[in-house]
Amino acid sequence: MSQKKSDSAVRFAAVGDIHFKKESAGTLRDFFAQASEAADALLLCGDLTDYGTAEEAKLLAEELSVVSIPIVAVLGNHDYESGMPDTIRQTLIHAGVKVLDGEPCEIHGVGIAGVKGFAGGYGRGSLGAWGEPAMKMFVQEALNEALKLESALAKLRTRRRLAILHYSPIVGTVEGEPVDIFPFLGSSRLEEPLNRYPVDAVFHGHAHRGTMEGRTIGGVPVFNVAKPLLQRKHPDRPPFRLYEVPREPEDA
């Protein structure tokens, strides 16, 4: 795929799991500049920071200042680690990033629904809401995230649509990770809204050792864009995935 932007397509650069920390300051400017050069919008799929501190968020926001295209993001579990996801969110919003948590947005005529998602496992291995209150709360969290995703998808009015998450909605793109931890990498409950409201493609991160591509039951392509995975699979390329959506006539 050439690096030249096109009039007939909207090009997205997607990456997750940047895990920005103090020592990262200054090291990702070239990477962000390359993404900005290659695409019409940047999608960030969670674990933006490493420990979820205010300082990491501030340094990341400064690093993102080289990006001249719209940025749409969801948070990941690491962004919650220090108990201040709202600070992380606000810092990034202040820097011009659209941080989605169940809201829809539109970039160059393409609708985007974004949510962090949650864990719980896949298919017959999905954890059920049964027994202790803590178990029920765990399952409820996944259900809440799925409901947020569904509500964002239902609000999209564009013909072309994308979804971004941190956790994986399918097992296919976590394969490669130890089987023992599959239930902590995502949940089939996140796939249900995507089957009801199909999109052109889904992007997620979190599974650093997963698989780059899979599909939902409905055939929607799902891309694991965790930065460590992209780096390992394509050490010769900048670690973001480019994805083109045909440009709608009104935006051409």
Q: How far is the CB of 182 from Fe ion (least distance, A)?
A: 14
Structural tokens at position 228: 């460590």
Q: How far is the CB of 75 from Fe ion (least distance, A)?
A: 10
Q: How far is the CB of 222 from Fe ion (least distance, A)?
A: 16
Q: Closer to Fe ion by CB, 181 or 217: give it.
A: 181
Residue 191 within binding range of Fe ion, rule CB under 5 A: no
Structural tokens at position 241: 């995935």
Between helices 85-94 and 54-63, what is the axis angle to 10°? 20
Residue 77 within binding range of Fe ion, rule CB under 5 A: yes
* Distance separating alpha carbons of residues 218 and 220, to the nearest angstrom: 6
Q: How far is the CB of 204 from Fe ion (least distance, A)?
A: 10
The total of other beta-carbon atoms located within 10 Å of residue 86's CB is 9
Residue 238 within binding range of Fe ion, rule CB under 5 A: no
Q: Closer to Fe ion by CB, 199 or 207: give it.
A: 207
Q: In this chain, which stretch among 73-81, 89-97, 128-136, 154-162 interacts with Fe ion, using CB under 5 A?
A: 73-81
Q: Which of 206, 227, 241, 247 binds Fe ion (CB under 5 A)?
A: 206
Distance between alpha carbon 32 and the CA centroid of its chain, in Å? 16
Tell me the helices (H) and strands (E) count for the chain, helix number first.
6, 11
Which is nearest to 224 in space by CA: 32, 40, 14, 73? Answer: 14
Residues between 5 and 64 with contacts to Fe ion, criterion CB under 5 A: 17, 47
Binding footprint of Fe ion on the chain (CB under 5 A): 17, 47, 76-77, 206
